[in-house]
Structures are given as C-alpha cells and as structure tokens.
A and B are shown apart, each in its own frame.
Chain A
Amino acid sequence: MELLVASAIGTLTAGGVYLLLRLRTFPVILGLALLSYAVNVFLFASGRLAIDMSPILSKYGDASYTDPLPQALVLTAIVISFGMTAVLVMIGLGAFLEAESDRIDIDPSEDREDKTKDGDA
C-alpha cells in the first residue's frame, strides 16, 4: 500500500512538474493542480497510512485512530489550493484577453522597450 501511495505521489509530482514547465497558461494551471494533489497526498501520508481508523472518536473506548493533525492541515490546504487555482485562472484569463496570447514567457524581443528610460540623472 505504501508503495502505491508513494508511487502515485511521485507520478503526480512528475506530471505536475512537466506541465508546469510548459509555455502556455492552461497547461501550467493543470500542472499546478496535479502538484497540489501530490502535495496534499504527501502531507496526508506524513501521518502514516491507516485503514479503518477514522479519527472519529468511538463510543467504545478501545478503538485506535489515525493521526488527525495532517488531515486537518490537508483539509484547509485543499480549499486554499482551490482559491489559488481560481486566482491563477483569472489572472491567466486576464492576461490572455489583454495580450491576445496565453504564452507565459516574455518574448525576448519585446523586453527591450524600456531600456532607454533611465533616471533623470
């Protein structure tokens, strides 16, 4: 089981990083989505894996529980990563509508415009 989870984290990370390095906004956003899956599962796994040990206190005092702390952290992380994705999507969309291009890199030829502007020294 641990091997499966670890390899899933690894695959998600690799896919996320690869998409992150693409040149257009949309794949980068997808890459970030994959990476946030990977990070969330990674954080969750730091509490070690457990089956049938939900952190819901049992009425019969003899139950054992999995580590609840990483779960609480990941829960908010999931919601926050949604917020972050939404902001990125909006900014990417705005950039595309303003520039008519969804490239994320500045073209080196456009970069030279403000070189002539120096201080008024």
Chain B
Amino acid sequence: MSDSGHFLFLIALLPFIGALVPGLMIRAGRTACAVFTAVPTALALILLMTLAPSVMRGEVVQAQVEWLPQLGLSASFFLDGLGLLFATMILGVGLLITLYARFYLSGDDPMGQFYTYLLLFQGAMLGIVISGNILLLLIFWELTSLSSFLLIGYWKHLPEGRQGARMALAVTGAGGLAMIGGMLILGDIVGSYELVDILAAGDQIKASEWYLPALILILLGAFTKSAQFPFHFWLPHAMAAPTPVSAYLHSATMVKAGIFLMARMWPVLSGTDAWFYIVATTGLVTMVLGAVIALFKDDLKALLAFSTVSHLGLLTMLLGFGTQAAAVAAVFHIINHLTFKAALFMTAGIVDHETHTRDIKRLGGLRHLMPVTFVVGTITALSMAGIPLFNGFLSKEMMLEEASHTKWLGSYYVIPVFATIGALLSVAYSYRFIVHVFLGPVRDDYPHHPHDPPAGMWLAPALLSVLVIVIGVMPFVAEALVTVAANAVTGADLHPHLKIWHGVTPALYMSVFAIIGGAVLLVLHAPMARIWNASPRPEAKVLFDWFVNSVAGASRWISEQSHNGAISRYLAIFVVTSVVVGASAFVGSGLSAPTRGLLSVPPVIAIGWFMLVVATISVVVMHHNRFRALVLIGVIGLTISAGFVYLSAPDLALTQISVETVTIMLLLLALHFLPKTTPKESPMGLKIRDGVIAVLAGAGVGGLAYAFMLRDIDTISDYHIANSYEGGGGTNVVNVILVDFRGYDTYGEIIVLGIAGLIIYAVMHALLDGPASRRLRNIDYSQDRSRDRHPLMMVVVTRVLMPLAAMVGLYIFLRGHNEPGGGFVAGLVIAIALLMQYMASGFAWTQARQRIEYHFMIGTGVIIAGLTGAGAWLFGRPFLTSSYTYIHLPPIEEFEIATAMLFDLGVFLTVLGAVMLMLYSLSRIARYAGETVNLEPMDYDPAKPATGEKEDN
C-alpha cells in the first residue's frame, strides 16, 4: 500500500474522529465548537487535494485492509474521478455549512450536538463515495440514513421534525434494505465484493439471470435515497430540519447518494432496455411532477425541496439514457446543481432567519432591505432557471440536447416534450423565487423587520454564487473535473468540451421556449394556484401514515392473538412443540440395537425409586397445600442424592443434598409472604389437557433416556481421566474438570450465580421502595408466628455446630481436588451453617455479628478466580492454565498444592456470597414487614411473652 493509500484511510476516519470533539467542546463556546468542526473537515480536504493530481491524471488511488475475509468484507477504499468529485463536494460544502450554521443556529440550540451529527453524517457520506468494497459501502449507506435521522430530527421539540425524521428513516432505510439484497446478488454473480472486480464484470452481470432482480433492488435503494417518484414524498417533510441541514443533505450530499450509486454502477448496470425504461422514465416523471408541485408551494423551503426532487429526476433521467454524452451532462449538472441549490437553501434560510417567515405570500420587496441576499438569491435562482451565462444553463442545454434525440417506446416526441415542460416549469418557479420574494413593493407587515445578516451567514452562499457565474461564463474551468469524473462513470476515455454556444440546435429552441413560457406561467400564477389548491390530489403523507398505521395495526393484531398474556399457554405451546419436534426426529431415524445390558436392582434401590415416584405423584396431587408440597419436594431431592451416591457420583450427591437444603429454606421463607394454599381453579378440561401434555412429555423424555442408556457412545472423557493427575494434579476427576479442564465454564457459571444473587438483592430493594412496602407493613403475620421463635435447644446446638460446620466446610474444600468435595460444596455447607444461625438466633442478632458484606464476597470470589486465571499469562500460558507443586510441612504429610485450588477458593467465596445474599434479601423483607426482632438470643419468657422483643426501629 502506498502512502497515498494511507491518506485515504485517514480521510475516511477524520470526520468520525472529529465527531467526538464538538460534543465535548461546546463549553468552550460556539465559535470554538464550529472551529473544531471545521478542522477535521479542512484536514480531510487538504489530504484529498494532495491525492487530486494523480486522480486527475486518470489514476485510481486504492487502499485495502482485510476486515472479515470470510464474508468478503474488507476495509478497502477507492478514489477515482467520480469519488474525487463527490468527496470534494461533500467536504467543501461541509466547510461552508459549518460556517453558515455557526450564525444560523440560535444560542438555545445545542450546537455541540449539531456539529457532532454533522460530522458523523459527513463521515458516512464520504465513506460511500470512497468505498472500494460494496459491503463497506452498504455500511456507510445505512450510516447516512441513521445520521440524517438525527440531523432532520435535530429540533426535537417540533413534531414535524420528529415525524419528518421518522419518515425519512423509514423510506431510505427500507430502500437501503432492498439495496443490501441487490448488492449481495451482485457480489454472488461476480464472486467478489470488491468494487474493482464488480466494475470489471459488467458483461457477466448483464448476462446473468439474476440481473433484473439485482437491478430492481439496487434501484429501490437509489430511488428512495434520491427521492425519486413514488418515493419523493419524504424529502419535503425532511425540510423540518434546520436550514443548514437542508442545504447540506438535500442539495449536495444525501439525496445525491442515490445519483452517485447509479453513476458508480453505470458501467455495470446500464445499457439494457430494463435500465433505460425504469431509470429514464422514473427520472422523467419525477422531474415534471416535482416541478409542478414546486410551482404551487408557498413555503420557500418546500419550493426548493420539490425543485430538488425535480432536478434529481433530471439527473436520474440523464443517467437512464445510458449514453456517454448523457453521463457527461449528468456529471456536469451534479456540480451545477450543487452550487446553485446549496446557495438557494442558505438564502431561504437567511430570509427565514431575518423575517421570521418562509411563506412566500407574506414576503416581497426584500431587494431594498436585503440587497446582498437579493443579489445572491437572484444569481443562483437564474442559474436554476437555466438562463444563459449562469452555469445551470450549460448543463440544462446538454440535457435538452440529449433529450431531443432519445426515442421512448418508438416515439421521438415523448421525452423532448416532457423535458421541455419540466424545464419550463423550472423556469417558472425560479422566477417566482425572485419575483415574489425580492421584487415588488416593500411591505410593512413582515413578522420581523428584515435586514442583511452578518457576513458569516452570507459569505458561504455568496462564494457559491461566484462559482455559479465563473462556471457559467468560463465553463472550461470545470472541464478537467467533469472529464475525469465522466470517465470514471462511463469507463471510457472521453474529451468533452464545455462551451456556452453550441449553435442553433433543437436544444436552443427548447430553452428559449422554456424561458419565455416560464415567464408567462408566472404571470398566470395566481389564477392557476387557485385551481390547483381547489383540485383534489393524493397527499403522500396521508397515504404514508395510513400505510404505517395499517401495518402497525396488523402487527398489533397478530401479536395480540398470539401473545395474549397467558404464560401457561405459551409454556404449553413450548412443551408440545418440543415433544413434537423430538418425536419426529425419533420417527425419522432408525434406532440401532441396544449394546448395553441392564444393571440389576437391589431391593433398597427399588424402595428408593418407589418413594421418588410416590413423592412426585403426591406433589402433583397435593400441590394445593403448599407446605406439604415443599416437604415432598425435599423427599424427592434427598432420594435423588442417595441415587447419586449409589450410581458412583459422590460429588453430585454432596452438592445435591446441600442445594436441596438451601432451596427448601428459600422456598419456606418465600412462602411466609405468599398464600399458603393454591386455589383449586383449573377447570377439569384444562387439567386433562395439561395432564395429557405432561404425560406425553414425561414419556418422551423417559423413553429417550432409556434408549440412550442402553447404548454405548464414544466419549472424550477418557482424556480427562488420563490427564487428571498428570496435567491437573488431582485425583478427583470431576473437580479437576471443574477447576481446570473446563475452568472457563466454571468461571462463567460463578459469575452467573453472583449476578443472580445481585438481582435478588436489587429486586428486594425495588420492592421495599415501591408500593409493595406499604402492603408489607400492613400484613398481619401473627397467626403463623411461633411463640417460641428461638428455641433454647436449637440456639445451643447451632452455636456449637458452627465451628464444627466451618471445619467440615474447610475439610471439604481442601480435599476437593483429590476426594469428593470442592469449592461449590464447601460454599454451600458454610452457607447452611450460617443460615442455621439466622434461623436459630434471629436476623438482627446474626446480622450484628456479620463482618463481611456478601456483595464483597461475591466480588472477591470472582476477582480471585479471574486473577488466578490471568496469572497463567505471566508464564506465557493461556488463561486459566493451572500448575501445581508438592509441599512438605513437617507435622503433616506431603501434599500437593495447585493454583487450581486458588481458583476453587474464588468459586467457594462466590457461591457462599451469592447464596447468603439471596436468603439474606428474603429475610430482610420479613424484617421490613414489621416483624419484631430480638437483639438477644433466646428471647422466650413464659411469664411476659412480649418483653424481650424490641421494635426494630
């Protein structure tokens, strides 16, 4: 990659980097903010100019870095004549707009935000025109939709602004989605997403049977962006944006993105009948329709918006012609339209800013009051009309010349006639802009007394109007740029000559007719406007709103039908679907013959199984009595633990038995606040339906389990067994897997557990701060409170048990690596021992003796585990690689110590903290509910039942 390639990256990045600054710099003042916006733009422009000479010589600057090669997406940039033209326009007008906006926006507007959005948009737009990969181009394309949404809706307090922004986003976003489809098809045909490859494969693409779908999808994107009929309606509504935005987005940049795309893809897609009829016809219709509407708009910006629609139609039509001369005309008109339209928007903004109205009917006579604005506005409007010696005339002549010999469906008249009508209307509304705003008598009823704005505001449009005249009088100054851009569009080597006088040609007659006819139309404007306003016509916004509302209504109807708030129904659907999918998988594939025999069943095990089944059925039958159901759940859990012991899973048995204890405690605590019984409210039909579903699901899962238990599989576990001692330094393979082989999983899991604890804590706080707290205070729990809340025996026993339990926990923790046990179990055991203190001696008593916050414990655990894992990096090993050594301390036998044990300590702390935090949160609710607490243990006094209890306040 050459140095110039690096420059391309820098140019693409500068606006995005710069976008960070204005938002932060606004406190330094509005001028500083504008300067900080201008700096990255100017830098990018200077860098671009250093690349310009080589591009003007016809070279193409390229730069590429692989990004996601699997997807064919690379960060590649590509600067040719067309890109240079657009990039110069984007950055140049960007600078002018920065200056203009500094004076246009009032002190109340958040200017830092504005400039940040503006730079974001500028970066996105720049990205489109210098992308060398069409996937990258799509990303920038979507970014322009998003950032223009922010800019159009910049005045958030205006409903029109919000609606206009939404409409623009919906229309251009939808078009963008279509374009993604089209671009993917193109990439698929060519086998590469690089622009260079695609531009070289025009014939292959046109020959493909996917050409037409790709063409239509890409054109949908271009037409929506460039406001072509029938998607033109969003552009006028986007005029709710501040005028600098309109001037930037809607004259020079965003709406030209569609034109750019058609120009970029011109060598690949144009030249077919489909291209000609779709593109040229759409352009022609848009040009005439936009001009008609513009003539009858009284809002200055709406007039300019529809005239922009009309001129975009003109450009689209020229590109649609598919001839090289038309492409040259299009490129030239892009430049000319930019100069006069941006200046006109800024002029309209100045008029609005100074008179406080944009309504043409309330204006007139401003030439005396605002002479500078009058001169700028008149020059640029005459250029828009296509009057000789202004640049608009030149490209309009070239357009009419092309139109005059283009055949449409066998007729040589359709296109010339409509093109002339379009030009005539264009002349009419341009005259109207001059005559009805600046000429005529001075009025005395302006909403605000107008005068010329400060120079900062008129400088930018004045500069553009100078360009209008320079190009208009000396068109050869633009010749080099037009040539190199047109060559990039057509892929040919053209030498166009831009000149004012072409001789007496059909185009000249058409032009003269348009200029005179336009003046006639202006004279007749008042009566025609009356007819126009009286005649019915479809209002695009109403149609759009109707469409959006009906889609939203249909979506709402569907979601209400399927998503009616009945969770039990969703669950039923979910279970049935799972069973059906599982069963159909079973039906499709033949089952191989069993390879394992059945193990024998000793009588004790049969009794255990019987207990389990009876307990399960009893839970289901008796679940209305919630306490009884809890007891039965306990029975089931203990039976399963016993089963784990028998089936060679001592670790599981230990874990299950301790989790069981904690779960039952948790449910008991919760039941304290919940109703003690479940009402019998399910109708028989529902019970039968649920019963059938349940039996089917049970049979399915049971059958599946039975089927695979009789068959052997290849397992990766042999590796773990073989390496547990050698690699992990422990003989308890399950523990070694947890803390070593699959340490990353365990790390994630303790984090999940910690988060669960924190969620519960947070929910508890939300509850205590919410309306539920009043209810809690008023519930009378006295009927289920024991007189002897802290029985003497229990207090004594738990107090004695505490150190013993802690010892057992420590023992289980230490032996974990070699014998059943480990951090999980140890954490649970200690948690149970602590919970026993809470239960026996009461919340307040225990809480007063708690030194370490449980949150702290969770956090410490996760950090210890993480640091242990990260420690492996110090030795150049991957995260969580463990290591171990053997130590000999004199009184004890030689033992090994592994870093995995430190990791297990983290597990231990997290589990302990999370479990304690959960139960602690539940008990705090109890305390909040107005339960009295004891500060001393053993508060039972038979003589005075109430003494010894102190209100907790």
Which residues in chain B, 601-625, are within 8 Å of chain A measured between CB atoms?
601, 605-606, 609, 612-613, 616-617, 619-620, 623
Q: List 21 A-B contacts (CB under 8 A).
A: A1-B601, A4-B601, A26-B678, A34-B619, A46-B708, A49-B599, A56-B818, A71-B652, A72-B742, A76-B745, A79-B911, A83-B914, A86-B756, A86-B918, A91-B763, A93-B674, A98-B772, A104-B568, A106-B566, A120-B162, A121-B163
A42 CB to nearest chain B CB (Å)? 5
Contacts of A74 in B (CB 8 A): 649, 652
Asked if B732 contacts A56 (CB within 8 A), the reply is: yes
Q: Which of B679-693 contact A (CB under 8 A)?
A: 679, 681-682, 690-691, 693
B residues 399-414 touching A (CB-CB < 8 Å): none
Q: Which residues of B contact A (CB under 8 A)?
A: 159, 162-163, 166, 545, 548-549, 552, 560, 564-569, 571-572, 575, 596, 598-601, 605-606, 609, 612-613, 616-617, 619-620, 623, 626, 629-630, 633, 636-637, 640, 643-644, 646-652, 655-656, 659, 662-663, 666-667, 670-671, 673-675, 678-679, 681-682, 690-691, 693-695, 697-699, 701-703, 705-706, 708-710, 712-713, 715-717, 720-721, 724-725, 731-734, 737-738, 742, 745-746, 749, 752-753, 756-757, 759-760, 763-764, 766-767, 770-772, 775-776, 818-820, 824, 828, 911, 914-915, 918, 921-922, 925
Give the distance to chain B from A84, nearest Cβ to Cβ, in Å: 7
CB-CB < 8 A to B549: which residues of A? 118, 121
Most chain A C-beta atoms within 10 Å of own C-beta, residue among B568, B681, B701, B760: B701
CA distance A65 to B653 in the complex (A): 17
Could you list 15 further interchain pairs (A-B, Cβ under 8 angstroms) beyond the known A10-B699, A82-B662? A1-B599, A2-B599, A9-B705, A10-B703, A13-B697, A17-B694, A19-B620, A21-B694, A49-B599, A51-B646, A57-B725, A72-B734, A75-B738, A86-B666, A121-B549
Are A89 and B697 interface neighbours, CB within 8 A? no
Does the CB pair A67–B717 fall under 8 Å? yes
> CB distance A26 to B626 under 8 Å?
yes
Q: How far is the CB of A66 from chain B (nearest CB, A)?
A: 5
Smallest CB-CB A-B distances: 7 pairs: A10-B702, A14-B698, A106-B565, A6-B706, A1-B599, A83-B756, A97-B772
A56 touches B702 (CB 8 A): no
A82 nearest CB neighbor, chain B only: B659
A21 to B691, CA, bound (A): 9
Q: Which residue of A lies closest to B822 (CB)?
A: A75
Chain B min CB distance to A43 (Å): 10
Closest to B746 in A: A76
On whether the beta carbons of B697 and A2 are closer than 8 Å, the reply is no
A89, B770: Cβ atoms under 8 Å?
A: no
CA distance A45 to B38 in the complex (A): 68
- Closest residue of chain A to B639 (Cβ to Cβ) is A8
A62 within 8 A of B: no
Are B571 and A4 in contact (CB-based, < 8 A)? no
- Whether B720 lies near A69 (C-beta < 8 A) is yes
Q: Contacts A10-B698, A11-B698, A34-B616; is A3 near B737 (CB within 8 Å)?
A: no
Q: Are A68 and B567 in contact (CB under 8 A)?
A: no
A94 CA / B922 CA spacing, docked (Å):
11
Whether A105 lies near B565 (C-beta < 8 A) is yes
B721 touches A65 (CB 8 A): yes
Residue in B closest to A81 when the chains form the complex, CB atoms: B659
Residues in B neighbouring A53, C-beta threshold 8 A: 648
Inter-chain contacts of B606 with A (CB < 8 A): 4
Name which residue of chain A comes closest to B626, CB basis: A26
The DSSP consensus for interface residues of chain B is helix
- Min CB distance B916 to A, Å, is 11
CB proximity to B under 8 Å, residues A33-87: 33-34, 37-38, 40-42, 44-57, 65-69, 71-72, 74-76, 78-80, 82-87
Q: Is there an interface contact between B678 and A27, defined as CB atoms closer than 8 Å? A: yes
- For the complex formed, measure the closest distance between the CB of A40 and the CB atoms of chain B, giving whole angstroms: 8
Instruction: Give chain A nearest CB distance to B927 CB in angstroms.
Output: 15
Query: Across the interface, which residues of A come within 8 angstroms of B655, CB to CB?
Result: 75, 78-79
Find the residue from A3, A25, A44, A54 having the highest chain B CB count within 10 A.
A54
User: CA A120 – CA B160 in complex, angstroms?
Assistant: 10
Given known contacts A4-B605, A76-B745, A89-B667, A120 and B572 CB-to-CB distance under 8 angstroms = no
Q: Choose among B709, B716, B731 the residue that contacts A49 (Cβ–Cβ < 8 A).
A: B709
Shortest Cβ distance from residue B404 to the other chain A in the assembled complex, whole angstroms:
45
* A75-B698 in contact (CB<8A): no
User: Which residue in chain A gives the minimum CB-CB distance to B637?
Assistant: A37
Listed residue (B674, B690, B775) with the most chain A CB atoms within 10 angstroms of its CB: B674
Interchain CB contact (< 8 A) of B673 among A52, A87, A96: A96
Q: Give B558 Cβ to nearest chain A Cβ, in Å.
A: 15
Query: A68: which of B713, B721, B772 is its contact (CB, 8 Å)?
Result: B721
Cα A82 to Cα B752 with chains together (Å)? 11
Whether A14 touches B694, Cβ cut-off 8 Å, given contacts A2-B599, A51-B646, A69-B717, is yes
B708 neighbours in A (Cβ, 8 Å): 45-46
> Within the complex, what minimum Cβ distance (angstroms) separates B880 from chain A?
15
Bound together, the chains give a CA A22 to CA B686 distance in angstroms of 9
Check if B598 sits within 8 Å of A3, measured CB to CB: yes
Known: A3-B598, A51-B647. A93 touches B757 (CB 8 A): no
Known A21-B568, A27-B623, A91-B763; judge A2-B710 contact (CB<8 A): yes
Of B166, B694, B772, the residue contacting A18 (CB under 8 A) is: B694
A15 contacts B647, C-beta separation under 8 Å:
no
Contact A37 B640, CB 8 Å, known A50-B647, A96-B674: yes
A17, A54, A107, A119: the one within 8 Å of B693 (CB): A17
**List of B residues within 8 angstroms of A94 by Cβ:** 763, 766-767, 772
Binding site for B on A (CB under 8 A): 1-27, 29-30, 33-34, 37-38, 40-42, 44-57, 65-69, 71-72, 74-76, 78-80, 82-87, 89-94, 96-98, 100, 102, 104-108, 111, 118-121
Contact of A2 among B564, B709, B764 (CB under 8 A): B709
**Are A54 and B709 within 8 A (Cβ)?**
no
Q: Is the CB of B720 within 8 A of A6?
A: no
State whether A6 touches B734 (Cβ < 8 A): no
Cα A78 to Cα B661 with chains together (Å): 12
Report the Cα distance A100→B571, complex, angstroms.
23
- Nearest CB of chain B from residue A5's CB, rounded to whole Å: 7
Partner of B732, one of A45, A55, A67: A55
Q: Which residues of A contact B662 (CB under 8 A)?
A: 82
A86→B267 CA distance, assembly (Å): 64
Cβ–Cβ < 8 Å partners of A49 in chain B: 599, 647, 709
CB of A15 within 8 A of CB of B674, answer no
Most chain-A CB neighbours within 10 Å: which of B640, B662, B699? B640
Q: Flag if B709 contacts A69 (CB, 8 Å).
A: no
Contacts of A18 on B, CB cut-off 8 Å? 620, 690-691, 693-694
Q: Which of B567, B651, B674, B691 contacts A104 (CB 8 A)?
A: B567
Are the C-beta atoms of B159 and A120 separated by less than 8 Å? yes
Query: B820 — which chain A residues lie within 8 A by C-beta?
Result: 54, 56
A85 to B670, CA, bound (A): 11
Asked if B694 contacts A22 (CB within 8 A), the reply is no
Interface centre among B548, B636, B649, B699 (most CB of A within 10 A): B649
Minimum distance in angstroms from A97 CB to a CB of chain B: 4
B742 cross-chain contacts in A, Cβ below 8 A? 72
Q: Is the CB of A65 within 8 A of B764?
A: no
Q: State the CA gap A98–B659 with chains docked (Å).
A: 29
B609, B694, B703, B720 pick with most chain A CB within 10 angstroms: B694
B-side contacts of A75, CB under 8 Å: 651-652, 655, 734, 738, 824
* Contact in complex: B633, A33 (CB < 8 Å): yes
Question: Is A79's CB under 8 angstroms from B566's CB?
Answer: no
CB-based contact B674/A90 at 8 Å: no
- Tell me, rounded to whole Å, the shortest Cβ–Cβ distance linking A68 to chain B: 4
**Residue contact B629 to A85, C-beta cutoff 8 Å:** no
Kindly state the separation between the CA atoms of A5 and B649 in the bound complex, as whole angstroms. Answer: 14
Known: A11-B616, A66-B649, A82-B663. A21 touches B571 (CB 8 A): yes
- Chain A neighbourhood of B771, CB < 8 A: 98
Could you tell me if A21 and B572 are in contact, using CB atoms closer than 8 angstroms? yes
Report whether A68 and B737 are in contact in the complex, using a CB–CB cutoff of 8 Å.
Answer: yes
